[in-house]
Amino acid sequence: MSDLRITGLSKRYSLPTGPVLALDGIDLAVPAGSFTSIVGASGCGKSTLLRIIAGLEGGFDGSVTLGGRPVGAPARDRGMVFQEHRLLPWLTVEDNVAFALHGRPRDEVRERVAAHLALVGLSGFAKAYPAQLSGGMAQRVAIARALANQPQVLLLDEPFGALDAMTRIGMQQEILRIWQAERTTMILVTHDIDEAIFLGDQVVVMSARPGRVKAVLPVTLPRPRDRSSTHFIDIRKRIFGEFFAESEQAFAYAI
């Protein structure tokens, strides 16, 4: 396991209307085996940051290193789960997970698929197709697929955003259980502040575009966490305070 470090990261896009600065001077340390949550307004570059870490986005300034080595193209040391499960509908659950293990020995693939379906609690659905699964079950398959290669870092881009409230809470508990079992470094992008606090060892608060790190708040609450506890509420207030301060500054500037 290796630490992930982001230093001086900036990203610009060229649009017909002119250049747009999406990320500006991001500095962030993610300890190996930790759970980091990232929150921020829509369009602040949270997903862009994950895509850069995953190797899906290039053309940036600054550096991203994993264990001291620069992060480049997509590789098996980094897995990613998106808001949509992106399962292949013509493949069974077990074949969707096995798809991530292309090129490995057949016995190893069989063992890893079985182990990771057991990890997400879906051993009995190996022969099912995605259309036969609920939204939460499909996302668990997506998580199993992303973990099957045993990545050092798992990137989660709003993975529960399309789920109903009760299923979402259940999935938060599931991802926490999986993280505690695997101790894979996890980085979660979310709009849900309670979710960020419930899961994270630290919560990174980003500013509106261009995305900058406004604050990194450690969460030292023991697990399982009580969302109604005084400490939990205090952290929530601090995060809301960062957002409100930025909104007030933008309003003052506008007038």
Q: How far apart are CA 108 and CA 89, in angstroms?
A: 24
Q: Residue 214: what pLDDT? A: 95
Instruction: Mark whether 56 and 18 lie in a shared domain.
Output: yes
* Nearest alpha-carbon partner for 183 in 2, 29, 52: 2
- Please give the residue range of the domain that contains residue 54: 1-74+154-171+180-255
Q: How far apart are CA 113 and CA 123, in angstroms?
A: 9
Q: Residue length, the chain? A: 255
Instruction: Mark whether 96 and 63 lie in a shared domain.
Output: no
Q: What is the CATH number of the domain that holds 9?
A: 3.40.50.300
Helix-helix angle 165-182:106-119, to 10 degrees: 130
Q: Where does residue 206 rank: exposed (0-12), middle (13-18), buried (19+ CB within 10 A)?
A: buried
Instruction: Mark whether 9 and 21 lie in a shared domain.
Output: yes
Tell me the two tokens of residue 140: 């668990």
Note the pLDDT tens digit of each residue in 25-59.
999 999 999 999 999 988 899 999 999 999 999 99
Q: How far apart are CA 141 and CA 123, in angstroms?
A: 10
pLDDT at 247 over 70: no
Instruction: Mark whether 44 and 142 lie in a shared domain.
Output: no
Instruction: Mark whether 146 and 201 lie in a shared domain.
Output: no
Instruction: Mark whether 46 and 122 lie in a shared domain.
Output: no
pLDDT at 175 over 90: yes
Note the pLDDT tens digit of each residue in 51-100.
999 999 999 999 999 999 999 899 999 999 998 899 999 999 999 999 98
Instruction: Mark whether 161 and 241 lie in a shared domain.
Output: yes
Instruction: Mark whether 115 and 160 lie in a shared domain.
Output: no
Instruction: Mark whether 144 and 188 lie in a shared domain.
Output: no
Tell me the two tokens of residue 30: 């993610």
Virtual torsion, Cα 37, 98, 71, 119, nearest 10 deg = 30
Q: How far apart are CA 162 and CA 85, in angstroms?
A: 10
* Nearest alpha-carbon partner for 217 in 236, 244, 189: 236
Buried b or exposed e, range 88-112, using 16+ CB within 10 angstroms: eeeebbbebbbebbeeeeeeebeeb
Report the number of distinct structural domains present in the chain: 2
Q: Are 10 and 26 in contact (CB under 8 A)?
A: yes
Instruction: Mark whether 14 and 96 lie in a shared domain.
Output: no
12, β-bridge pairs = 21
Confidence class of residue 253 from pLDDT cuts 50, 70 and 90?
very low
Q: Are 163 and 135 in contact (CB under 8 A)?
A: yes
Q: Are 58 and 26 in contact (CB under 8 A)?
A: no
Confidence class of residue 8 from pLDDT cuts 50, 70 and 90?
very high
Instruction: Mark whether 63 and 188 lie in a shared domain.
Output: yes
In what helix (H) or strand (E) does residue 89 lie, and over which residues does it extend?
none
Instruction: Mark whether 51 and 97 lie in a shared domain.
Output: no
